[in-house]
Structure formats: C-alpha cells, structure tokens
Structure 1
C-alpha cells in the first residue's frame, strides 16, 4: 500500500515521500480545516502546522492502526487550538469568522442551504457531523479524533442531526412563504 510506504520512508527522513504525502492529503486537509474553522486563512495555518506536526511525530504513529484517524486527529486538534486562540484574541471571547464555501467539498456547492445550516451549528455538533458525513469516519474513529467518550459522541451526533433537521425544516417553511 502506498500510504505504508510513505510512512516508512518519512520515518527515515525521505523528503520526496513527504512531498508526495503532502500532495495527496493537502486538498482534503484544507477542505476539512475550512469546514471546521469557517476561515480560509486559519484553515491554511492549521494545515501547515498539521503537516509539520505529522513530520515531527510520525515516529509515534502506530502502523497497526488506521492512518487517517491519526492524521485527522492532529488536524482537528490544530483547528481547535487556532479557534481557541482566535476566541481569546477577539473581544468578549466571540469568534467572528467568515464562511468560505469555496474550499468545501463539491456536494456542499450543490446544497448551499445545508452547508450554511451546518456551518451555523456550534462546534460541538458541527465538527462531529463533518467528520462523519463528509470525511466518512466511523463513530469510534471520531470519538478517538476528538478525545470523546463514544456515548458522548453519539449524543452529539444525534443532537446535531436533530438541530440540522429543525433548521432545514424552518428554512423550507420560510422558502414556501
């Protein structure tokens, strides 16, 4: 498998393998980080820092476990760190971020109402929904990525879907008027 080859070569300091790995993962990472942070520049910063951390920490990766959850946990943690930093810097602790749908997966381009509704959810519901329904991670993988108890994650997914459905129903009713 190509991924296993990259990981082994990166562990041995092969810069060309790291470049190939970056090219393979960077677009997906930017899309995910943009969906989490709702800010293009912050997403780029998060992705850059994520790849630096991956390069430095690749020796701690357990090859017996799937790579993607390990990678996306680093990315998600970096996004959350930058969001927290932004919240501390902004007045009153409020985050004022612009939506940037241009970097989100094509399915969102076709469903702008859904995208806007997901982006309006609070982080504790929005991020698990993105990881599950856009990135395709299992609940157990998401719980590990976010450092949550599995039941807590299930509750957040349930509440997130419920809030999403309520918002979409409201949007539909407003559109009918």
Structure 2
C-alpha cells in the first residue's frame, strides 16, 4: 500500500514512468474484469484504455487515505457501462474468445461456470465478479456500484441462486 501511495504521488507530480508502473500492475486485472463485464474483447480494450486515461487525468482527485483499487475499479466499471451502452449489443463470452482467435482451454465445468456467469443480467453478474473473482467486501462493492449494502446482498443472493439453477444445482434450502 505504501509503494502504491508513493507511485500515485509520483504520478500526480507528472512522473510518466510511475504511471507506466501503475499501468503494468493493473492492466491484466482490468482487462479480465472488462471482458467479463462487457462480454466482448474489443469493448473491453476500449473500456480499459479509457479507464487509464481517466485515471491519469483525474489522479489528483484520488483520496490517498483510501485504498486505490476500489477507486480504480469504480472508474473501470463506469467505462464498461459506457462502452456497453454505446454499442447496445452483447456477444457471449465463448463467441468473443473465438472472434479474437482464442480457443477456450478450460475444463468443461469451468466453461459451464463462465457460460452461467455470462448469461446473468448485469445487475447480478457484476457484483458476483467483484465479490468472488476480485475478493472485494460487500461494502466496497456497494460503494463502487453506488448501491445500498442490503440491495447488494440481495443481488448477490439472487445471482448465486441463478448460477446454481443454471448449473443444475439444488434450490437453496432443499434437502438432498
């Protein structure tokens, strides 16, 4: 965290090498998240590029007393939404991988999980991604998505139920 604060301080002072370091540290995670959110590699690239531009231009607004990652991901999610709104179409995860020439080399159950996740409405899918793939707390996610914590908890619960049903699991609370 101290190294991150020093890097951000250097960026605020105009150090381009410090920004390059931040970019290198966050690019892979940002791309993975953007692909999961937008369901389209090209859109993800646009969202990530615009995210880094906005971070660079607005780093002076960042509150160094708070963790950087949630601030960064809040900007990334807004950019993903903006790109999706602009494009107004969604391509399933598997198709977008094929489109960029990547053959998913995942076990069948992992592909099923990705398909189930990608089939969810954004209001359930994005909180699940942030909670279970990025390990954010419910409070952090609620802040990023500008939701009440109880609303977020409800969406996480519903999203888990929809995933379970999609994967053929037993409905919550049933006995085997």
TM bucket, shorter chain: 0.7 to 0.9
Q: What is the TM-score with the length of structure 2 in the denominator? A: 0.86
Do the aligned partners of residues 169 and 148 (structure 1) sit closer, same or farther apart at CA in structure 2, a change above 3 Å counting? same
**Which ranges of 4 or more aligned residues in structure 1 deviate by more than 6 Å?**
none
TM superposition shift of 1:86:
1.3
List gaps (5 residues or longer) in structure 2.
170-176
RMSD: 1.7
> Which structure has more RCO (C-alpha within 8 Å, separation ≥ 6)?
1
| Structure 2 counterpart of 1:91 | none
Which of 106, 128, 132 is matched with 1:109 structurally?
106
Q: Pairwise mapping of residues 35-74 of structure 1 onto structure 2 (< 5 A)? A: 35-74=36-75
Higher helix share: 1
Any idea what the Cα deviations from partners look like across 1:90-141, whole Å, max 9, x if unmatched? xxxxx232414589xxxx9341110110000010000000010001111111
Do the aligned partners of residues 101 and 148 (structure 1) sit closer, same or farther apart at CA in structure 2, a change above 3 Å counting? farther
Aligned residues: 159
Q: What is the TM-score with the length of structure 1 in the denominator? A: 0.85
2-side partners of 1:81 and 1:148: how far apart?
A: 18
- Is the contact made by 2:39 and 2:90 (CA closer than 8 Å) also made in structure 1? no
